[in-house]
Structure 1
Amino acid sequence: MFRIILCLILLLPAGAAATEIKPFKSDGCSLFPDGTREQNDLWLACCMAHDHAYWKGGTYQQRLLADKALEACVAKVGEPDIARLMLAGVRVGGTPFLPTTFRWGFGWPYPRGYKALSADEIKQIKLFSPDEFKPLQ
């Protein structure tokens, strides 16, 4: 019986298909401050861009690039130590395999895992993305 349950748990993510993305929303820096005491939203824009990448999801390599972009952005506003701490946090906490509200691909129904976006999914992303994240045409 244990083997059957284990097989079902392992096969479920492979058979689940995300069909529709939820409209984009961000909670800022999730479980982390949006800035310092003096500048409350110092790196908030970095987190918003990171949230957008996480919302749409994609491949493992795309997640790694999004996480490194967050680190670079926070370092650029003058907080390299905070940037390294944030990078460690998102690498551990942002896995797509936990049903959190801040996981990789959180815009899609859980579970999604790492998966390249289809042409239809890219169209949905463009439709539901805020203007500041839509590509210029």
Structure 2
Amino acid sequence: MRSKAFTELQQESDIWVRLRNILRYLSAEVHQDPFVSTLFEEYKEFRLAEIERCFAQSEEAAVQLIGSLIREGQRQGYYAQVPLPLTAFMLVKMIFSYELDYPKTEQSDQDLKQLLRHMLRKRTDD
């Protein structure tokens, strides 16, 4: 399902919208995909190594995709020159940690969006 969704999300021409939608998908996947949501709940409770390995593979694929989007956004002049793949890795970890551990509210969702924009936006002095 994720592969199909990522392929569809890649059709968007606006790089910022594409990145935002992919991060949004990763976040929503926890709640909408029954398999993933069950894994997250079990991981939150038991922190099993088998589930952690599953997440590691999933995270690596997401890091590669997000890294390529950031690189494309940098080439197009939208994103700051941030270190890759570290930034992509941190974004994926941040989204998963936010979903797993942070008490979410509508305000926290808005704050997360603002943080992402601040982290990646190219500034005029760059």
TM-score above 0.5: no
Q: How high is the TM-score relative to the length of structure 2? A: 0.31
Whichever structure has more helix as a proportion of its residues is: 2
Higher Rg of the two aligned structures? 1
Task: Identify which of structures 1 and 2 has the higher relative contact order when contacts are C-alpha pairs closer than 8 Å and 6+ apart.
Answer: 1
Q: How high is the TM-score relative to the length of structure 1? A: 0.29
